[in-house]
Amino acid sequence: MTLKEKIRTLAREKNAIVLAHYYTIGEVQDVADFVGDSLALAQKAAQTDAQIIVMCGVHFMAETCKILCPQAKVLIPDVSASCSLAESCPADAFAEFVAQHPQHKVISYVNTSAAVKAVTDVVVTSGNAREIVSSFPQDERLIFGPDRNLGEYINSVTGRQMLLWDGACHVHERFSVEKLIVLKREHPGAEVLVHPECRGAVRKLADVVGSTARLLKHTQESECREFLVVTESGILHQMQRACPEKTFIPVPPDDPGCTCNECQYMRLNTLEKLYQCLRDEAPEVTVPDEIAEKAVRPINRMLEISKELGL
Ligand code: 13P
Ligand code: SF4
């Protein structure tokens, strides 16, 4: 049996569902039951009746699964799959920031620890942030954390002046404006697809700014045949699979010699570790009850609003 077959057999025997984010390596995406962006993964976790959820993604995604599906055993192939953006927002410092602004409602990006979600009014993902922020009355005072780039972008498209936490993703911050300009010159017909975690100077060069799912959908709907992709390069797997006749060019980071931009945390999810994790039912991700009880409310609020808005 191949490793893929062993994984599928174990998943069936153990009533386990394997979820994978678009940034994981292609072979992990191919063996998963479901591949999606952060919003779709949370929606899937909220609906599943599987006894085991294996989250091939990063730690906050596994925590979100556990919070939404406390009866399931939640596993992650490598427990050190962290997220620099979530780490840029320590829960105690964020709680202090929130306490200093008692008149503000708190909106947190899903890329946060469960403890940050516990002091949040509503969670958002890049797939619904604009719509959820717009659902608040125009004069409501808002805090947005932790991604300053996504926060700036949402402020610019909604006309809000949300107070922003000063956090960022080390992968999306690394994209090079200069290299993107050169690539645009070399591929004048290509559309530029940018994730909103990128810096403003990069977003300015975009034809489309959106979540991984939105960028993927755009490549399928657009008549364009060439795309410059300014997000983690794992997404190219699904883009290329859905449209094999189109060309997808990963935009490199600033680092000399780098041809594409990878999140080293997402890349910790290997087929071998996925197999071992299903076999041993470890490492398991848990969330303390007192945090989960608080964190579930803003996550459910996000899911409810997304449902109402058809997202
Ligand atoms: P999406 O919500 O677009 O899937 O992005 C998640 C993420 O980690 C981006 O860096
Ligand atoms: Fe976190 Fe950035 Fe990796 Fe996404 S790409 S999981 S935001 S470190």
* Rounded CA separation 52/177 (Å): 42
285 lines ligand 2 (CB under 6 A): no
Neighbours of 108 (CB within 10 A): 29
pLDDT for 61 beyond 90: yes
Write the pLDDT tens digit of every residue in 10-38: 999 999 999 999 999 999 999 999 999 99
Write the pLDDT tens digit of every residue in 45-58: 999 999 999 999 99
pLDDT for 258 beyond 90: no
Write the pLDDT tens digit of every residue in 181-236: 999 999 999 999 999 999 999 999 999 999 999 999 999 999 999 999 999 999 99
Summarize the confidence of residues 161-170 as an average pLDDT. Answer: 97
**Sign of the Cα pseudo-torsion (195, 199, 200, 204, in order):** negative
pTM listed for this prediction: 0.96
Ligand 1 neighbours, Cβ below 6 Å, are 37-38, 111, 125-127, 169, 197, 211-212
Ligand 1 atom closest to the Cα of residue 58 is 8
Summarize the confidence of residues 297-309 as an average pLDDT. Answer: 95
For all residues of the chain together, what is the average pLDDT? 97
266 lines ligand 2 (CB under 6 A): yes
Counts for the chain of helices (H) and strands (E), in that order:
16, 12
Residue 256's pLDDT is 80
